[in-house]
Structure formats: C-alpha cells, structure tokens
Structure 1
Amino acid sequence: MTLVGRTSILNTLETALADCVAGESRTVLVEGAAGCGKSALLDVIAERAAAAGGLVLSADAVPDERDVPLGVLRQLVNSGPELTQPRTTADGGRAASRTEGMQAFCAQLRELAEDTPVLVCVDDVQHADRESLRYLRYVARHARTARVLMVLSVSPYDGVLDPAFATELMRTAAFRRLRVGLLPQDEVAEVVRAHGRPELLDSAHALSGGNPLLLRALLAEYEYESGYETGYESAHGYESGHGYGSGGAPLPGGPLPGGPFAQAVATCLDRSGPGATALARAAAVLGEEAARAGLAELLGTGVPAAARTLAALGAAGIVDGARFRHEATRAAVLDAIEPEPRRELHRRAALLLRRAGRPATAVAGHLLASARDGRLDAPGALEVEILCDAAEDLLAGDDAQGAVRLFELAHEACADEQQRHALQIRLAGITWRFNPAAAERQLSGPLEALRAGRLAAEQRKPLAHLLQFQGRWPEAADLLDPGTDGSDTGATPVDAAIDAGGAAGERLLQSARLSDITLAPIAQALRSLVYSDHPERAVPWSRKLLDEADRAKAPGWSAVLATLHAEALLRLGDLRGAHGYATRAVQILPEKNGSILRYAPTAILVRASSAMGRYTDASRHTDQPVPQRLLTTLHGLGYLRARGLHQLAGNHPQAALADFMEVGRLMESWGVDRPAYLPWRTDAADALLRLGRTQEAERLVLQQLALPDARRPWVRGISLRGRALCTTTAKQRIALLTQATDELHRSGDRLETARAMADLGQALQADGGSLSKGNSMVRTAWNLAQECGAASLCREILPDAPLSGPGRGREPLAPDEEPKKSETRLSSSEQRVATLAAQGLTNREISAKLYLTVSTVEQHLTRVYRKLQISCRGDLPMDLALGTLQSVKQ
C-alpha cells in the first residue's frame, strides 16, 4: 500500500520501524489537521510492521471515552496476546497502585519485545483519557532499550493534548514529530490520474483544497454519479468538493446534499476542534462578508478562539483566511444547517453587518434569508430601513425584481401606518414594469387611507402622480392642490400632453433613460408628439423605447410603449401597424383581464379592426361587459370612443351617439375636454347626420371649431369636414372640404385625409362642372385608403371596385423596355406639380400656386407621365397626393 505525497513521512516511519527491529525504542508523534491522512499513515506502518513479523497493538481514542479511565490502554491490551488487563485504583480495596500497574504493563511489553518487535499505535491521542496517557508516557521513558515503537497521531486543533504528556515525549531522545499537510496540486493530479479521471484534473485541487479525505470523497461521489462502485483503498483517504464554482464543474449538479462529499466535510469539521462546526456555519452564512472579528462577534466568542478555529479549518483545506476555498464546501455546510438555526444566523448576521457599515444589499440578503413565509420574526424600524435602502440600491443596479421582494418584506415588517402607505406607493411604481394589474391593486391601501383621512400630506402628491399615470385622472385630480406647490398648476395630463409641444417632448426623450421614475414623463412626452402637428416623430421614439423595454424584460413597460407606438401609427393612418402593436400590447400583459391598462390597446384594436373591415374581431372586444371602474379612467374614454366608432361603422348610429355623448360628458366633468385628445363632438356629429339631425350636428361642429384646439391642423381638418357635411351649398361644401383636405394632409393623418378627399371628390362629382377632377380625387382617396388598409372606407368610396385598385390597367413593359431606376425618380419640381395635379388642381391653378407658367406645368406633367408610365392625371398614384418624395417604381 502506498500513499501519494507522503514519501518522506513514510521513510521516517520506516526508519523508526527498522530501528525498533534492530533493538532501539522509538516514539513518533504524527500531527495533522482533520482529513490529512494521519490514520492512513498509521495503517500503513502497522501493515509493514506486521509484514516484518512484529506485534501490532492499536487503539482509537474518541472524545466520548475521554473520561473512561484506562479506556485506550484496554484497547491496546485487547488487541494483543497474553497481556494482563490493567486495573485502576477504584477496582478494589487491595488493587495495585498506579505505579505498580504501569510497571507491570511496561514489563509485559518488554517481555513481548524480546521475541518480536512491538508496534503501539494510538490514533487521535488527544482524546485519550489521563490514565492511559500516564501509561504511554511511562512506556516511552522506560522501554528505551526494548524493541518497542510507539506511533501516535494527534490533531493539534481537535481537543487539547495533555501538556505534561507532550513535554515528556519531547524529553526523550528517541522522539520524532512529523507534520502531515495538504497535498499540492501536482500530487492531487497524480491521484486523479491513478483513478482514471482525467476530466477532474482542472477541478480536483480547487474542490478538495488538497485535503486527502475530501479528494477521496470527490472521486467516490463522481464514480457514484457515473454509475460505478465507490470502494477505494483506504490508504488514499481522499475526499471531494462541490461540483460547481471555481475550478470547473465535474458533476452536473454538484455533490449531492448528504452525499460522500458533504459527509466528509462534516467529518472534517467535527474533527477540527470545539466550535469548528459552529464557526464554519457562521462563515457559510456570512459568505463574502466573513471576517475574523465578525465571526467572533456573530458566535459570541473571543477573537483568539475564532482565529484558532479558522487556523484548524485552513489546515484542513476548508477555508482560506475566513472564506471557504470553494463554494461547494460552503454549500455542504449550509445544507447541513437546520432551517431555524439558519434563519437565526442570518438575522444576527444582518444586524452585525449593519453595525459594521456594510452595503445595504449585503445586509438585506440576510434579512431575506431569515424570513419565514415572507415575514420577519419580531422586526423593528432598523430592519425596515435596511430593506428599503437595499431595495433602492438594487433599483439603481436595474434589479427591479429583487427590489420588489425587499420592498414587500419591508412592507410586511413595517409597523408605522404612514410608512406602509409610502412603501405601497413605491411598490406600485416598480411593480408596474412587471404587472400593471398588481400595481393598480397595490394602491388600494393608500386610497382607503385617503378616504378615511389618514393619509399623510406628503404622500398625496406621489399617489396622485401614480394614479395619473395609470389613467385614473379623476382620482388623481382630487389629490392635487394647485397653489400649494409651484410644480402643480392645475393642468390635467391631457392639457400637459397637448400643450407641451413636440419639441419639448423630444428634448426630454433625448435625455431621459427608461426607468420606473422616468416612465411616466417619457410616456407623457410620447403623447405630446402624437398630439402634435408632427405625429410621425413619435414613431421612431416609441419604437426605440419599446425595444429598450423588451431588453429590460419589463412586460408592463412594454405594454405601455407598445400601446403608444400603436397609437402613433393609428394617428398616421397605419391601420395594420396599429393593429399589430396593439395586439402585442394586450398579449404581453401578465394579467390579461386584471388591468385597466389593457383597455388602452384594446381601444386601438377596435378602431383599427373596424376601419379594416374586420367587424367580427372588433365586436369580440366590444361585446363584453365594461367594468364600472373603467369609466373613471382616461383609458375608459378611449374605449368608449372606439366602441362608438365601431357601432357607427356597423350602422348603429343611435348606440354610437350614446357612447360619444358619454365621452363628452365625462371629459367636460373631468376638465379634459380637448378635441386634440378625443374629438367627441365631430364623432357625435357623424352619428347625428346618420340620424338626419343636421342642426344638432352643425351645432357640435361649430362648438369644436370655436375651441382653441381648432387651430391645430388635425382638429381643424376633421372639424371643417364635419362642417362641410352639414351644409347644403355645393360651393361652400367644396371650399370647406378643400380646406379640410389641406389641413389633414398637413396633420399627417392619411386615413382622415383619404376620408376628406373622398368627400371632396364626391362633392366635385356632384358639381357638374368638375366631374373629371372629382373622379381623380375619388380615385386618389380610394388608393390612399387602400394603402392605410382601410377596407371599410374603400367600400364606402367605391363600393364596386376590387381591393386590388380602381386605376386603369396597363400592360407591363418588357424587361428591356423598363426605364432605369434612376430615370423613374421625380425631380422636386416634378414632384410638387404632380402632387397638386393628383389633388385635382388644374394646370392654371397649379401655375398660380407654384408661380410657374402654364407651359412649364405642362412640361413637368409630360415628364411625370413618362416616368410613371401613365397617360393622364387620373392615373397619378396616391403617394403623390401625400406629397412624398418617392415614385411608384422605387
């Protein structure tokens, strides 16, 4: 039997054995930490002594028998022949004295040694009883000329060896002290190769720390996991560590709890002295924060005692300083701690680290671990403070999920009512990124306190802002008190979004980073772009921010931003895009039916589906009962309007009118009556015209035209169109529709532009002198509606036209006849002329508008016809009517 890395020690033991055989007495003390192979060395020398014909007497001292007089000596006597059992002074009244007993035992050994060398092996001699130690000490002094070799093993950390015994041994010239340490990396690799496990070469030393017992357990556990037998020669005494962390991961899931490795760790701790297990558990709980002073305070022991125990664990390869050498060892220690003691350790560790000024996140982690079923045992204000500080730190590091857990625990632990409300409001703001429905529910406590008059004044404003962001403006309005704070002017969120202006919104978007705090102002800035005269600017910003929310894995944020992106697309007349992103917003909400927020994208879905002619899909969203709380939110206004537009498209003007008038009533009562937000008057006017109530319709349209928002192109455009539909004079109707078309064209809303153009074309057709211009305008309107995906409007404009297009058919050119791409682009002058021609203007009108001669206009149109491969202005595509800078051939 051989031992790796123990050659010099074995040579010394063999020399001592040879001296013994030659007639010299020898005493060898083998020192080493737990698991370093002391017992294996004693086994080897015992085998070699027996092979040389010697007599081996052996004993294992254990802590439980330390108080049993002569217990170790009796083991030695029982292991050999013809030895008389020793007697203590308590064995009888005429028992031999202690000295006589020691003399008799030594004489027996000397007598045996005359025939054969005698090897006395005592393992873990530090646990031997005092009486047995006296006998061994006597033998060491009085058997010098006998062939007696005494080999004792001792762990300097596991108990205290009798000082008198150790001193007496050192006084003898035949005494040798050997120290057994950890295996270096190359010797660990030799063991791994010997066991045929080259895959462990990179990890075995890191896992075992060079401790032979741990290395052996590692190999045993690996073969167990691999389906092999686990028996190994005891001489190698190696054990393993955890299969993850530094140094590689030899086992798929790491050493099993309670497996060979965990058992070996527990053995090393148990044999590393009093308090070693407790200290290791404290170090495992503290983790990276473990320090000698901290460990001593956590355990309630002195620093010197903690230092000695750490030295023992370091000598055993368990720790390096105050840290575990490998996470696997720490995991094994943690797994062995029962739940209650572990929670108590974590609680004490949290308070200790707080006093030491450690980061709040490190402290709060221990409080989380000490919680039972999401609650702390007997928490105080300090624990709440720690949790809140740590939660804010996690938020700063983009760990919102962790922050929510800490805030929830702080809320449960908080005894102060006002602080609990503040925590609920903060939680609602963070939870929104994951679950808007849960965020809405979290405000129930503060709202109840508000109604009962128990909410602190300083919490009213944060609560109001959060309610406002959630669309719950009536509730928020009751909380805001203009004049008490210079930041509150009484402006509604609708006023703020509409009056902010697109430029101000873009400046904020350029500087703000998406977070729980900035989400509300960012959403407000996007709305200001949507409601501005350039809504197209909202599209790239909302798309960029939506991508950012998706990367942050924040479904609540994504739902809000997908809704705003869909709203921007709908405002531009992109029905397909609006429908797609609104669908996405609904689908990504964690609770599909729990949040009021879902009605915002649902409203867009209803409007887009109806305009696209998908009435069944729209009805699926509107034929459901509406929760009463929806009608107390801004989202409810959008939903009611969408339902009314759907009913109007389905030829139910009376039901539609009821929804539009309810929208108007709510908007007026809430102080948010802004047609730039929801033009309920022109919506109601459309329904009234269907019912033949022209005067009422005209009154509503005139009211809308008299409002300040009517200066905006979009509001003015839809209002002028409504005014035109109320008049019976053909000339006035054409003039009003012409203005409406121009205004809507400026606003960027292609769908409303197509609607106004269709009305204008039909008015021109009704005017006998403008039939050609009217036909051209109708075709352009149809093409524009088709481009928007508005199948419903297409059928209204040209009921009999196929959706593939009403333009005149043309045979395609042969490949060699097709003009080059560069030749199909229109110059800027040609573009301007073609655009006005597509809108139905005559050459003379174009001449006057662009300050060109009629001849120049005709020349431009000739080149346009050639480049676009058309024969007359009636074939001009709708792209030109929008004034784009593209040609059909791009």
Structure 2
Amino acid sequence: MALVERDDILRQLDLLLAECTAGSGRVVLIDGPVGTGKTELIRYCGARAAGSGVTVRAATCARAEHVLPLGVVGQLLRGLPAGDGETGAGTVCTGPDGAADPDTARGTDTLCEEATQDGCRGREARADGAGRAARIAELLDVGAAIAGRLGRDPDRELAQIHQELTLLILDLSKRGPVLLCIDDVQYADVPSLHFLLHLVRRLGSARIAVLLAGDLASHPLDLPFRAELVRAPEFRSLRVGPLSPAGSRDLLAAATPVTPAPSVPDPYQVTGGNPLLLTALVQDDRGFGQPGPEVFGLALLSCLHRGEPVAVQVARALAVLETPVPDGVVAPDTATLAGMIGADVPAAARALDAMNAAGLLDDGRFRHKVARDAVLGDLTASERTDLHRRAARLRHQQGAPAATVAAHLVEGNDVQPPWGTGVLVEAAEQALLDGRPERAAACLRLAARSAAGERERAAIRARLAHAEWQTSPAAAARHLSPLVSAAHAGLLEQRTNAALVRQLLWHGRSAEAEDLLARMRAVAQAEPEDDAAEVHDLEVWLATVHPPLARRRRGPAAGSAVPAAPAADSWLRSAALLADAMAAGGHRTGREPGPSGITGAGVAGTGPVGSGLVGADRAESALRDLHLARADPWAGEVALLALLLLTRAPRMDAAVAWCERVLADPDLEDQTARAMATAVRGALALEQGDLAVAADHARAALRRLPAKAWGVAIGLPLGTLVLAATRTGDLEEAARQLVQTVPEEMVASRYGLDYLHARGHYHLAANHAHAALADFLACGDLIRGWGLDAAALVPWRIGAAEAWLRLGNVDQARQLAQEQLGRPGATRVRGLALRLLAAASPPGRRLQPLTEALELLEATGDRLGQAYVLADLSRVHDHLDQRRRARLLLRRALHIATMCGARPLAQELLAISGDGRAVFGLGADQEMITGLTDSERRVASLAVMGYTNREIALRLYVTPSTVEQHLTRVYRKLNVKRRQDLPADLWTDATHTG
C-alpha cells in the first residue's frame, strides 16, 4: 500500500528513530480507524530502523489472545538474540507449548520465590552476558503464572519480574538502539500493558523507542494504562485517518497506470478514503475502480471483523434495514440498530462512529451496494431471517410505512399476527400503484397464509392474481379455479368478479365466464345500485371485445345515462366508455348515447375520463391518467382500447408516442403491459407501412410472453406478424406462424378478427383466392353478427373486394367498395376503399378516386397504401399516354415500396420500369448530400418521390422557376444529369417534407 498523505507522520517516525539512536527514549502511539494504514506505518518504521542497525522487535495483538498473560511481551522478547560472546546457556524446563512444566521442573511457587530474591541470579546473568534468552523465557513463564493467579492486580512478585525484564532490555539497548513495535495495542493483555508502563517509566536516556498502533475509538485502551502513558514526558500521539478525495485518486494512480473509465464511480465516494478499500478497488477482478465482492467485499468484511463484535452486529443490522428499500431511505437511528441486536445504545453509537470514521459508512449508510451485499453475505440464512423479523417488529412499533415493514416481513417469511396481514395487503396495494407487481405478489402470497377467514383469503387471492397477471398471465391462471369457486360462494365483490370474468375470457374459459356472468346478473337485480352499475359496464365492454357473451344491450333512452355509484370501479367504467366509443366507430361525441345507451356525461367526475369527450379525446385523457390505475385490473384493457381508438381517429402519432414511452421505461415490471404495448406498436407500424418494424415488434411481443400467457389476445401480435411477413413476401414465415395452435375461443373475441384478416391476406398472396375470401367474409359475418359493423375493427370489405377481383367478380368487388365508402370509418380505410373502387371501375374513371385515395393515405401516413395507389396511378397515366407522368409515379411507387420492405410490390414495379438504378443503384456519397442546403434537400427529396416541379412548388409555396433553379444546383452538386438519377438516400428527407 502506498503511503499517501502521510508525510507528517513519516517525518515524526524518522524523528523517533533519530532521537532513539541519539539516546532519548521515546513512546509514540499511532491512533486511527481500521484500514487506514497503521500497520503499513509500523512496517515502514521497522524497515527504516533495521536498515540503520537498530534491533527491531515486533508484536501483533489479537482480540482472541488478550487473555494470555504477558503474551505480547512474549512476542517481543522470546528469542531475543544474544549479544557478542554470549552463549545463551542456562535453561528452564518447559512443556510442549513453551510454558513451565510443573511435572518436570521446579514448581511455580519455588520459581516465584527465587525470582524475587533481589534479582541476584538475573544480575549475575547480565553481568557475565550468559543465559539472557533462557532467563527471559523463565521470567515470562513465571510472570504468566503469577498474572494468571492474581488477575489484573500485580503484586510485588510480578513487579519484580517486570523489573528484571526491563533491566534485560535496558542492558540490550546499551549495545545498540532497540525499537519495540506493537500493532493493535488495544487488544494487548493487561500484564503486558503493565510491563510496558514499567519500561516507559525507565526510558530516560535509554536508546529504546516504543511504537504503538491501534484503533482506540472502537476499543479504548485499559484506562489506567492510557492515563499514565499520556503523562510520560517521552510520550507522543499521532492521529491517522482516511484519505481526502484527492489523496484517494493519488493512491489509485500510484497503484496502477490504468486510467479509469468515465462510468467508474468516484473512488472516494465508494471507499470514504479508506486505504485498505482503495487498494481492494485496484485488486478486484471487476476492473479498475469497480467494487466487486471478490476483493472489495472481503476487504470490507476484514475491516469489520478486526473491530469490536458489536460493530459487526451493527453493520449487519444496518445492511438488513437498508436491504428492502435502499433508494431514498433515511439511515436508521442508533436506537433502532441497538434494539435489533440487543445492545445498549452507547455501544451501538460507538460502533457507528468508528465505521463512519473509517470510511466504511457515510453518515450511517453503506457507500456502495457491494459493501451492503458483502455484509449480508456474511450472514447465515437463519441469522438474516431473524434480523428481518426483528426489523419488522421494530419498524412497526416505530410507525414506519407499510412498504418498509412488509419488506422485512417478506424477507423474514413471517406474518407477525395479528397486525402483519393488514400491513402486507396495504404494502401490496402501494407496490401495485408504484408499478412493482413482483413486490406486491410477494406481500400477498405471505398475507394469504394468515388471512382471518375465507372471505379475506379470497380477496387476497384475487389481488394476488392481478399482481401475478402483470408479470405472467400464465402463472396467474392457477388462481382462477379457486376464485371461481369463491365467487359462486358469494365471497367476492362484484367488481372483483368483473375482473375475474376478464381473466377467464383472456384464457379462453368462456363457459366459466358465462356461468359467473349469470350469477352477477342475478345479484345485480337484487343488490344495490353499484352492483348494477358494475354489471352494466361489464356488458358494454363485452359487447365490443367478447361479443358472444354480452346480452343484447337495451340501454337507456337517448340523453340519459347509467350513473356510476361511488363504489363502482371507475376504470371498468372507463373501459366501457372506450369500448362503446369504438363500437360507434370512434365518431360519436361524449353526449350522444352509443349502442349501449351510455354517455360520457353520465359519468362526469366518477372516472378517469371526463364528460363530453369524443372518442379520441377520451382515449388520450385515459392514457394520460393511466399511471393512476396500476393497481386496477382494468388498466391494461383501458390502455389497449384507447390506443385502438387513437389509431382510428386518426391520431396515430399519439398512440406511437405512448407505446414508445412504455417500451423505453427501464423500470416497468408489468411484463404484460410491456408485451401488449409492443404488440400494439407493431400493429401501428403495420398501418404506417413500416413492415420491418411491424414484424420486429410482433416477434418481440411473442417472445416477451409465451403463447400460453397470451391467451386469446395472441391474435393481435400473431396477426401483425403474419400480415407483415405476407407483405414482405416471406410467405414461409407467415405459414410457420399460422400453423401455431391458438385457443379455440379466440375467434369469439375481437382478437380473432386480427388473426382471420391476416390469414386472408396470406391466402391472397399465396394465390388461394377462395380461401382468402372465406376468411374475409367470416370476419364480416362475425362483425355484423355482433352489431359492430360501425366499429371497423378490421377492413374486411377491402380484403373481400380484393379476393373478388382475383376471382374475376368485378361487380361484387365494386359493391363491397361502395358499401365501405357509404359507411363512416377511418380515413385510411376510406383511402383503401377508393383504390378498390377504382380497380373495379373502367380505366377512364379511375383517376379521380385514385387521386383522392392518395391524398387520404398521405394524410394518415400509410406509406404502403400510397405505394399501391401510386402504382395504380402510373398505370392510369400510361393508359392515357402520359408516359412521363406515368414513369415519375412509377418511380415514386418503387421508392416507397422499397423503403417499406414490400418486396413483391417492388419486384413487380421494377419489372415494369426496367430500371434497376431507381432502387439499387446510383447511391451518392453522404458528404455530397450533406453539401446540399436545406431548401435544396427539400426540393430534391420531393423530386425523388416523383412529384413534378409544379407539385413541388405547390407543396413548398414557391414558384416552379425556383424549384427548377434548386434542382439545377442539386444535379451539379450530386454529379447527376436527371431526376431519375437522384440517389434514393434522399428518401429519408422526403418523409419530413411538407
């Protein structure tokens, strides 16, 4: 270890040796926290002394050996080398451990008596220089025996032994300077301390230096010893502490030439400047400056165990108290720590102060997770459990938040009746609100073990099913059968039953859901208003999402409303409102009754969406407030319905932004919500014509939840993936997805429509027009049978019209296109219908509907739809002998199809154009493109898309002459001769151009 920021102390140690050599005895005490380099300083001084010819004797004390009388003196003096001409003759009988053996030598009492007879034998031995080593050994054995017999009070006999040992050392110092070093002196045995005092009193002009080191704050020295030591004129005290931030960096720089990465935490913040921990940072296998359990954690444990036992206990209690809620938790007070370990408060306070002083803690808290984990790892499982149980009791008595107490209950696997169940349930609700379903589930699993009765146990199980649903619907399914039994036994509230119906339907258990619905309807007829409101809202939601189970809805008369009682689930009401708006096609205002007779005005102030909101506004309002609904089982359904409404509004940008926020949240534990957001993001990308993104998100959604966990909702991501693969020409991938087993009940839900619609397009691409027509018409039959034709859940008429065209039945195709145009619906669907109407019309009547279709699809951002319309427009202009216009439109369609990844369409258009350069050639150096001005890039990007100069001028609000001038400069800068040679790289600018 490099000695950084220790210059003053090193000078004092050099002075100590100089004074000792000059004949001035000195005593120096180095005091400081554990791990701050006291041992390194002793080694430094010892090495300097030995190099100068000084006799160096060293001893290291240990807590376990403080009961051995004269153990420290024995380390210092046993084996002391004889001077010149000394033989070391003279022996004493010893046992195997070096102590006097009473069976083979003279008895202890005899030795004591002889040792006190004026020290004659000792003086004679010193006078002739013989037998010093033997005499020292003999005196130590006798002294140990006396001290062991007399305890802490030395008598005259022991004092005489101290005197003779002192005279032996003084005699040795006459031959040369002597340095006695004692490390961890706080653990020295009392008889040895008394000997040291005896020696210190006689230093005077002797060439003897005594160097002591210890952590006296954590373990004070024997009070009489310290009081007399500090009075000695030869005494000097030095204080050593942790390094400064700059010193910490200097020590690391001296230890390794490696430059720390920017991500490496500040060494001082991690170690508090403790040199031992700083050295461990360098040695750890995790890399320079990164604390790890291998070395850093062990170094911290070493510091703790070298201190007092109470410090280890306090550190363990602190680690346990920090474990459940490490973020933002206030450091526990000393009384709490003392109560956990059964220690008195002053002892715990001293331990905390010592750990803070050593840099192990920062104001009573661990500086790094590795440090806390190392302390926890030092506990046995039973020790940790016991500490958590104690912590739970203490925290509850102190009135700590339920989340804090519950975390300890869970870690301790102990409910602590009678108060534990309530604390666990309260903590679970808070965890759900905070988006921590795993924590909530852990609390609820423990709470269920101590529920007071069947009703409470059923309620807890229902909340547990909801918590587990957020991480794995498949795992939560194991609760459904017991909950169904509890519901039929009347143990669950109606709002809980409503959530149970949704979970049953998700897993395709429609028969059980129908039985439970029948019971709910019967109860609603006889129970208070809130039960009726719950059932009504559930019926409204069912009519859109699982229509076969909903009763034919005969809602209130127009302008009336079904009131929501205060106890009703406001998020179920929100789901009902959104479902009702979707059933109406998203166009009805909040004050117009929908198919259910429900109005936004009827729930003003009762739910997350306000009164008078149109469908899209209501959807955005619900998404904004969704963070308030994490504890509600209907939150996920509200999110999905809101996103689908925004897609049809169209407010696709808002839907995409919400999905991206969810997917970018690294702390989101709700895997079901993340999977659903991923699936919806894929569906949105599909509607925008971004086929690669759509397929990627659909695959990611299917990976995030296994097929069993998706239940009937698997139709959404599976349908997206099949349709995206079909559009890109990857029919093998689409076929692989279609052979997957899906729940039979899926087709009885709205998710089945996504699946059937995608399968129809696969059949169409595979030239199975009859099979495709059957799937599209099946979608239509289901939608019309459910009374949801206005909802436009899938554009089945568009698909069926395409199939009829393939089969040569133009009249049927035209009829379906006209039917679609005669209905209110999404702008995008209207654009697709106009294209099909044009295809079913004579060539001379196609231009107007195709032009209108292009405008609509551009407005909604459906790029793939634009490519198909542009291709059709190219054919129309070619038919009208407008070749130049036809080529420009074809090139524009080819660019868009290529950017979308629609290989079948791109290959078809490429074959027509016969110009591979339009897509695959004539790329430009990126530096050349960046050399264009913003105005030039805007003009060039629109030219790449196939717009004429006049159209570009209208879009950019400039004159055609200005456009021509810009293009001339673009051609020159990019070294091309015509707009057909403009690089496709400019397409990325086109998507952002007005």
Pair in the same fold by TM > 0.5: yes
TM class, shorter-chain normalised?
Answer: 0.5 to 0.7
State the alpha-carbon separation in 1 of the partners of residues 339 and 200 from structure 2.
43
Is contact 1:106-1:143 (8 Å) kept?
no
How much has 1:508 moved relative to structure 2?
Answer: 0.9
List aligned pairs for 1:667-816, cutoff 5 A: 672-676=786-790, 740=819, 743-744=822-823, 749-750=829-830, 776=844, 807-812=879-884
Aligned to 2:616, the other structure's residue is in SS state helix
After superposition, residues 525-674 of structure 1 pair within 5 angstroms as 525=642, 535=648, 537=650, 539=652, 542-552=655-665, 556-557=672-673, 585=698, 588-589=701-702, 590-591=704-705, 593-594=707-708, 595=710, 596-600=712-716, 627-630=743-746, 633-636=749-752, 650-651=769-770, 663=782, 672-674=786-788
Paired amino acid for 1:283? L
Contact 1:379 1:413 in 2 (8 A): no
CA shift in 2, pair 1:629/1:300, >3 Å: farther
Give the Cα–Cα distance (whole angstroms) in 2 for the partners of residues 112 and 616 of structure 1. 96
Aligned to 2:274: 211
Counterpart in 2 of 1:99? 159
Tell me which of 88, 100, 109 is aligned to 2:143.
Answer: 88
Structure 1 residue 528: Cα displacement? 6.2
CA contact (8 A) 1:464 1:479 kept: no
| 8 A Cα contact 2:396 2:405, kept in partner | yes
Does the CA-based 8 Å contact 1:391-1:406 persist in structure 2?
yes
The SS at the match of 2:29 is: strand
Report the count of equivalent residues: 714
The answer to whether the 8 A contact 1:578-1:605 is kept is no
Query: Which amino acid in 1 is paired with 2:235?
Result: F
Q: 1:461 maps to what in 2?
A: 498
Distance 2:473 2:688 in 1: 26
Query: 2:192 is paired with a residue of what secondary structure?
Result: helix
1:271 to 294, 297, 306: 306
Structure 2 residue 230 is the aligned partner of structure 1 residue 151: no
Alignment of 1:116-515 (within 5 A): 116-142=176-202, 144=204, 146-157=206-217, 159-188=219-248, 191-192=251-252, 194-195=254-255, 197=257, 199=259, 203-219=266-282, 221=283, 250-251=288-289, 253-257=290-294, 259=295, 261-287=296-322, 289-325=331-367, 329-359=371-401, 366=408, 370=411, 376-377=413-414, 385-386=422-423, 388-390=425-427, 392-397=429-434, 400=435, 402-415=436-449, 416=451, 418=455, 421-422=458-459, 425-426=462-463, 443-451=480-488, 454-457=491-494, 459-464=496-501, 475=513, 477-478=517-518, 480-481=520-521, 482=524, 484-485=529-530, 487-488=533-534, 489=536, 491-493=539-541, 494=543, 496=580, 497-499=582-584, 501-503=587-589, 504-512=614-622, 513=624, 514-515=626-627
Q: Alignment partner for residue 521 of structure 1, among 626, 638, 642? A: 638
Equivalent position amino acid for 1:269 in 2 = L
d(CA) in 2 for partners of 1:643, 1:146? 103
Q: CA deviation at 1:305?
A: 0.6
* Cα distance, 1:440 vs structure 2: 6.0
- The residue type paired with residue 311 of structure 2 is A
| Preserved contact between residue 70 and residue 144 of structure 2 (Cα < 8 Å) | no
3-state SS of 1:88 partner: helix
Rounded to whole Å, the distance in 1 between the matches of 2:417 and 2:43 is 57
* Equivalent residue, structure 2, for 1:68: 68
Q: Deviations over 1:332-360 (max 9, x none)?
A: 43444444434443454455445444555
> What TM-score do the two structures reach when normalised by structure 1?
0.64
**Is the CA contact 2:682–2:720 (under 8 Å) kept in the aligned structure 1?**
yes
Could you report, residue by residue, the CA deviation over 1:645-693 in whole angstroms, capped at 9, with x for unpaired residues? 99998447998899689959xx97xxx545445999x99xx99xx9xxx
| CA displacement, residues 499-550 of structure 1 (integer Å, 9 cap, x when unaligned) | 57543312312322245554423544566678xxxx5536555445444444
Instruction: For 1:526 and 1:652, locate their aligned partners in 2 and report how far apart those are by CA, in whole Å.
Output: 31
Aligned partners of 1:639, 1:209: CA distance in 2, in Å? 60
Cα displacement string for residues 400-454 of structure 1 (whole angstroms, at most 9, x for unaligned residues)? 3x33343245235422355555455556656666656556666454234335654
Task: Please tell me whether the aligned partners of residues 272 and 362 of structure 2 are also in contact (alpha carbons under 8 angstroms).
Answer: no
Cα–Cα, structure 1 residues 584 and 423, in superposed 2: closer, same or farther, change >3 Å?
farther
Aligned position for 1:852 = none
CA displacement, residues 689-740 of structure 1 (integer Å, 9 cap, x when unaligned): x9xxxxxxxxxxxxxxxxxxxxxxxxxxxxxx99x98xxxxxxx99x99985
CA distance in 2, matches of 1:196, 1:578: 52
**How far is the alpha carbon of 1:60 from its aligned partner?**
2.7
Match of 1:275, SS state, is helix
Task: Please tell me whether the aligned partners of residues 32 and 180 of structure 1 are also in contact (alpha carbons under 8 angstroms).
Answer: yes
Task: Return the alpha-carbon distance in structure 2 between the equivalents of residues 218 and 819 of structure 1.
Answer: 67
Matched position secondary structure for 2:143: coil
**What amino acid is the match of 2:75?**
Q
SS at match of 1:301: coil
Corresponding residue for residue 603 of structure 2: none
Structure having the higher Rg: 1
Q: Does the 8 Å CA contact 1:460/1:479 hold for their aligned counterparts?
A: no
Sort the Cα spacing of 1:479 and 1:567 in 2 relative to 1 into closer, same or farther, 3 A: farther
| Cα distance in structure 2, aligned partners of 1:6 and 1:582 | 64
Q: Distance in 2 between matches of 1:153 and 1:742?
A: 94
Q: Distance in 2 between matches of 1:334 and 1:544?
A: 42
Give the distance between the partners of 1:647 and 1:140, measured in 2 at CA: 102
Please give the secondary structure, in 2, of the residue aligned with 1:104: helix
Residue 597 of structure 1, CA deviation: 0.6
Letter of the structure 2 residue corresponding to residue 323 of structure 1:
R
Is the aligned partner of 1:27 residue 2:144?
no
CA contact (8 A) 2:425 2:443 kept: no
Indicate conservation of the 8 Å contact 2:472/2:705, yes or no: yes
Cα 1:425–1:805 shift into 2, 3 Å: farther
Distance in 1 (alpha carbons) for counterparts of 2:701 and 2:749? 21
- Could you tell me how far apart the structure 2 residues matched to 1:580 and 1:17 are? 77
2:242 maps to amino acid: L
Shift of 1:177: 3.1
Deviation at 1:746, TM superposition (A): 7.8
Task: Label 1:552 to 1:391 Cα distance change in 2 as closer, same or farther (>3 A).
Answer: farther
SS in structure 1 at match of 2:227: helix
- The CA distance in 1 between the partners of 2:306 and 2:729, in whole Å, is 81
Quote the Cα distance in structure 2 between the aligned partners of 1:626 and 1:198: 57
